[in-house]
Structure 1
Amino acid sequence: MKKITFLFIVFTQILLGQNNISLDYYLPQNISFNQEIPTPKEIIGHEVGEWHVTHDKLVEYMKKIAEVSPRVSIENRGETYEGRPIILLTITAPENHSNITEIRKSHVQLTENSGNSLNTENMPIVVYQGFSIHGNEPSGSNAALATIYYLAAAEGNEINDLLKNTVILLDPSLNPDGLQRFAYWANTNRSHVLNPDPNDREYDEVWPGGRTNHYWFDLNRDWLPIQLPESKARIKTFHQWMPNILTDHHEMGTNSTFFFQPGEPSRVNPLTPKMNQQLTKEIAKYHAKALDKIGSLYYSEEDYDDFYYGKGSTFPDINGSIGILFEQGSSRGHIQESENGILTFPFTIRNQFTTALSTLEAAKNLRVDILNYQREFYTNARKEAAKSKSSAYIFGDEKDAAKTYQLAKILESQKIELYQANEDITINEKTFKKGYSYLVPKNQKNHRLIEAMFDIRTEFEDSLFYDISAWTFPYAFNLDFEETKTAGNRTNNITLRTGNVNEQSNYAYLFDWHEYYTPKALNMILNKGLRAKVGKTPFSLEGKDYDYGTIMIPVQNQKLNKSELYEFLQKVAKEAHIEITSVATGLTKGIDLGSNDFEALKKQKVALIVGNGITSYDAGEIWHLFDQRYNMQITKLDTDNLGRTSLDKYTTIILPNMWGSALNGTATQKIKDWVRNGGTLIGYRNAVNWLERNDLLKVEFKKNEMTAKNITFEQKQFFSGAQVTGGAIFKANLDRSHPINFGYKNETLPVFRNTNIYMKPNEESYNNPIQYDLNPLLSGYISEENLELLKGAVPFKVQRNGSGRVIAFTDNTNFRAFWYGTNKLLMNAIFFSKVM
């Protein structure tokens, strides 16, 4: 009985003790602190780890510390989609602050040719410390409170020596919107008597959770494509400073302990120098020593990899820096049961704080070696560039300036030099038009980053990947590209061309469907109540050729008079960056403008199914595409309310990737009735299986029937993992006459896929407008078994169902917002479904 009573007392102390947590729990012992520097509790009103810090309170504390400490300065680098500041603190010795501009310039010079003359013995090292890019992995941002206090307030020779030799760029919240969303959830569900039961509501966030940003994007996959404001801010800082070490503080499953890099040795991108991993191991020794001291369990060289350069811990590796991933077992709230005992929120914060300091200790002690490595990285990169057989990559689309521009802007943001072609160039039957194409010389500072972004790879040391295995940017944008020795004119001002209407017409206006922003233009026209038609057959008029999908706006019988129509179309052309051509006759070479091969188009009212059972990433990408790219309204319908919602007003409903029974029987029947009455239903990825099960789509699947032979229990994970298609690029053949392919000029299309859903083609060839090639692999990993299934399969199907249409995509056409090349497939499915 005494033993039971004792255990009860200990357990109760654990549960209640967090309410009395002290800052001393985190801080190193036997160190004095400047009493003029306020503690977090004095500013935000609670101790670190007592509550989940909200982003506004986090910023409040950072501002206060920058105000009172000569070691700290603060800057606001922009705003998130929800208007929260994206702040950065620069922390170093006061004497360094007085000379910070020269320190930065000298440090960046280390990566230039002129850097060989610099003496690294006298240079401070630069460390970028980033916390909680996933908002519901909050121990990082909460640890940032203790970290900034320690760096601002600690006294003695040790901290003075550290700050003299180190410039710390501290990013306390890489995902402000997500952190705020999760803090609200954890705090509003916190009990006074803390409850570690994992079944409690506190540990079961509502959809979509706080992991992502406003549009439900995983910000930790955006370091390379930089499509989001949070990413743009941090990448700008990275290139301004070229830090030597970048840390990325995350969380993982509750039953895990603590991970630090290096990760799996066989899964390092081959473009990463071996010295990078050796230095990572040296730094790891400091983490192990620090965690040993406080008795925390940990592991390394397992699970995680350094392959995809779009992650925060891997992006630095292709830029002469060293990326460090930390993964802490998550309490997902304030306290939770785990296989390792009761896991408290303060404990998770302490591990993050401890490794933040061990990183700085390693940086200080390995300073010269790491600075020399950075210089050597760029020296060797220049040597590799000089040996290149071709002098440049050229990329472009002779009919789509906007898509080409968007890739050029990414390269420019990554500090890659670009040139414009002096004239039209033809290479391997591909035309690179002046004004529609760019050259990327290989012989430049960021040669290795260029190779990473243009990399085509189909052979790998390992068959398991933590993330995607291919991201070749010209493929992602569906741009023509080649290697060349052609020269060009360097450009320092990449601009998106302004659209125009050549002159007022009394008859009609035409515009090609090739440009990226044409859906934005068509939506503006239809929303204005104007009549527009789409041409299903190519034709020529007044010396110009018009392709499949040309949009025609007649002048007669419109709600605007001809002058008003002209003015409105000028606005449309400018906002959508397209050329609209005035024509004076309907007589053409081919179909005339009054032909029945011009199909009338209707205003679209689109809904997106979201909520429990729907993959938030996929849904967010679609929402972002409509909201940010095309300025199109889209109504988000929650799965929990779908059965009670009238669908009559919607012309199109999009069903993103889903799992389980996201839609109940009532909702399913309501959707089926809506389709039969004329609606267009578009399903993505696993939703294709749901469409087939519910008799909305007739489809036959190819299945991988392989069984394990001579595979041990230990090898089971690797056997099954090798069959995962985590993300690769494949060639599909197009029937350009089909409306789903309007706007595509080539007969083939690079398609990204990360599923193993294989639809058999239809017996009628015209029902297979997109079909995978018999030699489909362009870049990335796929098992031999799945590659056989993919050959000749189709990623798209459309079928009539009553008066409506059901459309299926096995692959994500909107992947991570940078897969511009297939965005138009979704727009075509929306605007032209009735033509299919």
Structure 2
Amino acid sequence: MLRLCLLLLSIVPLLLSFATNAQSVISVASATQSDSSLASPSEFLGYPLGQWHLRHDQINYYLKQLAQNSPRVSLESTGQSHETRQQLTAVITSAANQARLAEIVQGRQQVKAGKAPESPLIIWLAYSIHGDEASGAHAALEVSYRLSQNQEPWVQELLDKAVVLITPSQNPDGLDRFSTWTNNYTGKVKVSDENHNEHRQNWPAGRRNHYFADLNRDWLFLRHPESQGRIALFHKWQPHYLGDFHEMGHNQTFFFQPGVPTRTHPLTPKENQVITSKLASFHAKALDESKQRYFTKQMFDDFYYGKGSTYPDINGAVGILFEQASVRGQQQDSENGLLRFSQAINNQIATSFSSLKGALALADELKQYQSRFYQRKDKHPPSGREAGFLLGAPGDPGRRDDLAQLLSRHGIAFFYLKDKMQQGRHQYSQDDSLFVPINQPQKTLLLAMFDLRTEFEDATFYDVSSWNLAFSYNLQMARNVNLNVDDLLTEPHARVPDTLSSNNVAVLIDWRQQNAAPMLQTLLSEGVRVKFAAKPFSLKVDGQSLNMEAGTLQIPVAQAAMTPRELIDRLTSLAEQYRVQLQGVDSGLASSGIDLGSPDFHDIAPIKALVVTGYGTSSAEVGELWYFMDNLIGAPLTQVDISRLPSIELAAYTHLFLMDGSYANLDEKYARKLGQFAIEGGVIVAQKGALQWLSKGNLLKSDIREKRYFSQLFATDGLSFGDKAKLDARQAIGGAVLALDLDTSHPITFGLGTNRLPVLKNKVFGLSKSQAPFITAASYADEPLLDGFLAEEYQRSLSQTPAIVVERHGKGALVALADNLLFRNIWLGSQKVYANSLYFIPALH
């Protein structure tokens, strides 16, 4: 009885609490029917905004409450993140404008045609694209709340004359990863020590998305659904102004653009930077009022168009970057004193409102700038005879189609060929080529995406110095071709069905096709026997000569797992699914080269791959491999933290991937265990920094060149202290495109379709020329620089040195890559090297 009484006494306060909370929710809900009494973020949360870091679902729920209860607010959904979190943007404007949003949006679709009717100013405030830069997401809720109910005259004028888009969280998955971490380590007594776990996230941290990708580098490449939804929203509304809210190192103050003047991309109109400078006075005034220190024209630039503050600049808008010193928790000591999260939120709120006030004051200039940007005579819809880019991906419709989808998402017009055509020494097929007219509404963006330059006024880059899609897709390209677009197609040729028969002795697959790899993985997982050709060959098919390159896949029709009819039906189904072209053959006798029964056709074994993760490894490059395996290959990838690696039985795996990073936490003696893994038949694929550790462990036989080696190449005699920054810039490799000369007879290069391969180099690292025969599969070209900036000292030193090396170790191998050939998952031209490592290298005993 006593127990029952005590239990009831304990439940009563809880019941009273529920009743009180329910009453408050009811009262808020009833009160919010009028604009003046909407629940503020703090009232909604039940604690001061910022006291706890928000989860994405809390943000979305609050936006929905505003939309439900304020006539000024509606919502846009731009799809879901990888982890299926809904991405919402608040659309805030006057009730009158809300009633005609469809009309406004329809008018915005005429912007690129230079015929847009008069419309409200479109302002987009976008926050926290890096998940652990959380002050922006919190500020966004407060800004949304004030705009949804504030009755000040300037706010009412703003909402009468403008539509304000507010996206609080552009990286839902990363934001939730971060908020969970930092909340877990926040106590009642706040810890400002920078070494506290609250401020030191575990690997891979919250900056990046599900696949550890930096979404603020994905505005051009659009590899991720978060970016695809964001770009669709951009082109739907065609904003005049975009505020891009970030955080930076905690020992800084606050930054807003303009950035370094000499580091603005030449394709950005000068008028854009003039307006940027005018807007700066509004931000300065707002921060001066709160005594917040700030800086401009330093550190950050306006060069790479794949970021949120620069993509608008090449699309007729003005993008502004804001960088708040990051607290990464509740409070943290810094060189400028104690940083508090509440103050960081207030700074983001202040510059959000300065953005609104500045854009409103400069509304006419912003509108006129956008109109002039698209009303140029050379930005007309393509018709008749046009000059343009002819682009081809020989033998690989998949790469062509990926590029077509990317161009379409950016609003760039293109056409398919009706027939084959010759241009120079190259042939362009209707099955794998595109024609892109230069003169079109998105001309400036098109030129930026295929920009080719190796000379720069200022060789300092905040990000890559080149992102030329012709190189990342490894395309044949003719830059000034004149074709009549009225004679071209707006849809690709229908796929010609494969004519296979159970009378075939084998079915062949051209390995150059991007989607051949995922189809192969499916076949292996289903127990189908597949072989690959180590040498080229020719066959006679229907009286015609069929020439097949090394790397061609052969599926013998005689299989133990299924009948010929079952196999043919399955292959036909998979070919349709993956859009892969198949070739059935009735005889295994070659007219030249190897026969189908030759020992130079090697069996492909099923794979089981492991990648090392955790502190010291590059989360970006681990994520790129994961994305490649998950989204293209369709094979599982076991991720093992570096701290657990010594306890893992490696014999269960066929491949071990070591991406860039420092592996100092691994005992060098562990390299012996990896050596045994290779001797017994395992394949180690290692790149960049991982090769340094393998070299110290004597597993890598090739000699490496580290930063210390390259730094000696730069003369410092006669340089003053003021020259240090320029020297640092020349010694950095921010991201330049280099050419590799390939040994096309090596299986690691099969299917690349060329003897010269463009790669993105973004780290000071190299390999020395090796005396060992047959291990170098690719070397940097004699004159390696194709695009971007690379100091002449590097160009000379890297010339004709190894870039891809395959060393035999017993039954296995070590594949050594001097560069990341998956860079941001946009380097479709070189990603096949990883597929070759998975399927071909294990067979070369």
- TM-score in same-fold range (> 0.5): yes
Task: Give the stretch that moved more between structures: 37-46 or 82-91.
Answer: 37-46
Of the three residues 668, 671, 684, the one matched with 2:674 is 671
| Equivalences for residues 130-529 of structure 1 within 5 A | 130-380=126-376, 382=378, 391-483=387-479, 484-488=481-485, 489=487, 491-493=489-491, 497=495, 500=498, 502-529=500-527
| SS across alignment from 1:417 | coil
* Rounded Cα–Cα distance in structure 1 between residues aligned with 2:459 and 2:385: 30
- Which residue does 2:627 correspond to in 1? 624
Distance 1:293 1:729, change over 3 A: same
Distance 1:422 1:506, change over 3 A: closer
- Spell out, residue by residue over 1:642-664, the C-alpha distance to the aligned partner (whole angstroms, 9 max, x if none): 11111111011110001251423
Percent of matched pairs sharing the same residue:
36
Asked if structure 2 preserves the Cα contact closer than 8 Å seen for 1:43 and 1:60, the reply is: no
For residue 602 of structure 1, report the CA deviation from its aligned partner.
0.8
Residues paired across the two proteins, number: 798
* Rounded Cα–Cα distance in structure 2 between residues aligned with 1:402 and 1:221: 23
- Which residue does 1:50 correspond to in 2? 51
- Spell out, residue by residue over 1:309-340, the C-alpha distance to the aligned partner (whole angstroms, 9 max, x if none): 00111111111111111000011101111111
Asked if structure 2 preserves the Cα contact closer than 8 Å seen for 1:505 and 1:566, the reply is: no
Asked if structure 2 preserves the Cα contact closer than 8 Å seen for 1:84 and 1:176, the reply is: yes
Give 1:124's aligned amino acid.
P
* Rounded Cα–Cα distance in structure 2 between residues aligned with 1:257 and 1:51: 23
* Rounded Cα–Cα distance in structure 2 between residues aligned with 1:96 and 1:778: 50
* Rounded Cα–Cα distance in structure 2 between residues aligned with 1:377 and 1:77: 26
Asked if structure 1 preserves the Cα contact closer than 8 Å seen for 2:416 and 2:490, the reply is: no
Give 1:258's aligned amino acid.
F
Does residue 607 in structure 1 map to residue 610 in structure 2? yes
TM-score by length of 1: 0.93
Distance 1:240 1:385, change over 3 A: closer
Does residue 776 in structure 1 map to residue 784 in structure 2? yes
- Spell out, residue by residue over 1:459-487, the C-alpha distance to the aligned partner (whole angstroms, 9 max, x if none): 10111100000011021001111120023
Asked if structure 2 preserves the Cα contact closer than 8 Å seen for 1:643 and 1:666, the reply is: no
* Rounded Cα–Cα distance in structure 2 between residues aligned with 1:385 and 1:567: 45
- Spell out, residue by residue over 1:187-209, the C-alpha distance to the aligned partner (whole angstroms, 9 max, x if none): 11101111111121111100000
- Spell out, residue by residue over 1:202-253, the C-alpha distance to the aligned partner (whole angstroms, 9 max, x if none): 1110000000000000000000111100000010011111101111111011
- Which residue does 1:740 correspond to in 2? 748
* Rounded Cα–Cα distance in structure 2 between residues aligned with 1:724 and 1:495: 45
- Which residue does 1:699 correspond to in 2? 702
* Rounded Cα–Cα distance in structure 2 between residues aligned with 1:350 and 1:64: 23
- Spell out, residue by residue over 1:519-565, the C-alpha distance to the aligned partner (whole angstroms, 9 max, x if none): 11211122222222111111112231111111111122422121221
* Rounded Cα–Cα distance in structure 2 between residues aligned with 1:709 and 1:497: 63
Give 1:424's aligned amino acid.
K
Asked if structure 2 preserves the Cα contact closer than 8 Å seen for 1:500 and 1:578, the reply is: no
| SS across alignment from 1:486 | strand
* Rounded Cα–Cα distance in structure 1 between residues aligned with 2:686 and 2:245: 36
* Rounded Cα–Cα distance in structure 2 between residues aligned with 1:780 and 1:406: 24
Distance 1:383 1:184, change over 3 A: closer
- Which residue does 1:536 correspond to in 2? 534
Asked if structure 1 preserves the Cα contact closer than 8 Å seen for 2:530 and 2:604, the reply is: yes
| SS across alignment from 2:413 | coil
Asked if structure 1 preserves the Cα contact closer than 8 Å seen for 2:129 and 2:171, the reply is: yes
Distance 1:487 1:763, change over 3 A: farther
- Which residue does 1:580 correspond to in 2? 582
* Rounded Cα–Cα distance in structure 1 between residues aligned with 2:758 and 2:467: 11
Does residue 800 in structure 1 map to residue 808 in structure 2? yes
Asked if structure 2 preserves the Cα contact closer than 8 Å seen for 1:78 and 1:86, the reply is: yes
* Rounded Cα–Cα distance in structure 2 between residues aligned with 1:327 and 1:496: 49
* Rounded Cα–Cα distance in structure 2 between residues aligned with 1:222 and 1:295: 35
* Rounded Cα–Cα distance in structure 2 between residues aligned with 1:401 and 1:245: 38
Asked if structure 2 preserves the Cα contact closer than 8 Å seen for 1:727 and 1:752, the reply is: yes
For residue 687 of structure 1, report the CA deviation from its aligned partner.
1.1
- Which residue does 1:106 correspond to in 2? 107
* Rounded Cα–Cα distance in structure 2 between residues aligned with 1:650 and 1:110: 55
| SS across alignment from 1:380 | coil
- Which residue does 1:14 correspond to in 2? none
Give 2:421's aligned amino acid.
I
- Which residue does 2:644 correspond to in 1? 641
- Spell out, residue by residue over 1:718-751, the C-alpha distance to the aligned partner (whole angstroms, 9 max, x if none): 3122111111111111221110111122221111
- Which residue does 2:40 correspond to in 1? 39
Distance 1:818 1:48, change over 3 A: same
Of the three residues 711, 735, 738, the one matched with 2:719 is 711
* Rounded Cα–Cα distance in structure 2 between residues aligned with 1:495 and 1:368: 46
* Rounded Cα–Cα distance in structure 2 between residues aligned with 1:770 and 1:45: 61
Distance 1:187 1:493, change over 3 A: farther
* Rounded Cα–Cα distance in structure 2 between residues aligned with 1:315 and 1:368: 21
For residue 383 of structure 1, report the CA deviation from its aligned partner.
6.5
* Rounded Cα–Cα distance in structure 1 between residues aligned with 2:717 and 2:104: 60
TM-score by length of 2: 0.92
- Which residue does 2:19 correspond to in 1? none
For residue 636 of structure 1, report the CA deviation from its aligned partner.
0.7
Asked if structure 2 preserves the Cα contact closer than 8 Å seen for 1:642 and 1:667, the reply is: no
Task: Give the stretch that moved more between structures: 323-332 or 415-424.
Answer: 415-424
Asked if structure 1 preserves the Cα contact closer than 8 Å seen for 2:124 and 2:164, the reply is: yes
* Rounded Cα–Cα distance in structure 1 between residues aligned with 2:497 and 2:176: 40
For residue 433 of structure 1, report the CA deviation from its aligned partner.
0.3
For residue 152 of structure 1, report the CA deviation from its aligned partner.
0.6
For residue 576 of structure 1, report the CA deviation from its aligned partner.
2.4
* Rounded Cα–Cα distance in structure 2 between residues aligned with 1:712 and 1:289: 37
Asked if structure 2 preserves the Cα contact closer than 8 Å seen for 1:381 and 1:448, the reply is: no
For residue 753 of structure 1, report the CA deviation from its aligned partner.
1.0
| SS across alignment from 1:485 | strand
Q: Over the residues paired in the alignment, what is the CA RMSD in angstroms?
A: 2.0
| SS across alignment from 1:109 | coil
Give 1:419's aligned amino acid.
F
For residue 106 of structure 1, report the CA deviation from its aligned partner.
2.8
For residue 442 of structure 1, report the CA deviation from its aligned partner.
1.1
Distance 1:381 1:90, change over 3 A: farther
Asked if structure 2 preserves the Cα contact closer than 8 Å seen for 1:498 and 1:578, the reply is: no
Give 1:593's aligned amino acid.
L
Give 2:474's aligned amino acid.
N
Of the three residues 576, 591, 595, the one matched with 2:598 is 595
Asked if structure 1 preserves the Cα contact closer than 8 Å seen for 2:147 and 2:155, the reply is: yes
Of the three residues 808, 811, 816, the one matched with 2:819 is 811
Stretches of structure 1 that go unaligned for 5 or more consecutive residues are 1-32
Give 1:251's aligned amino acid.
E
Distance 1:506 1:272, change over 3 A: closer
Give 1:37's aligned amino acid.
L
* Rounded Cα–Cα distance in structure 1 between residues aligned with 2:187 and 2:136: 22
- Spell out, residue by residue over 1:125-170, the C-alpha distance to the aligned partner (whole angstroms, 9 max, x if none): 1111100000001000011111111111211212100111111111
* Rounded Cα–Cα distance in structure 1 between residues aligned with 2:243 and 2:492: 32
Distance 1:495 1:711, change over 3 A: farther
- Which residue does 1:18 correspond to in 2? none
- Which residue does 1:7 correspond to in 2? none
Does residue 750 in structure 1 map to residue 747 in structure 2? no
For residue 691 of structure 1, report the CA deviation from its aligned partner.
1.8
| SS across alignment from 2:323 | strand
For residue 499 of structure 1, report the CA deviation from its aligned partner.
7.1
Asked if structure 2 preserves the Cα contact closer than 8 Å seen for 1:402 and 1:496, the reply is: no
* Rounded Cα–Cα distance in structure 1 between residues aligned with 2:613 and 2:578: 28
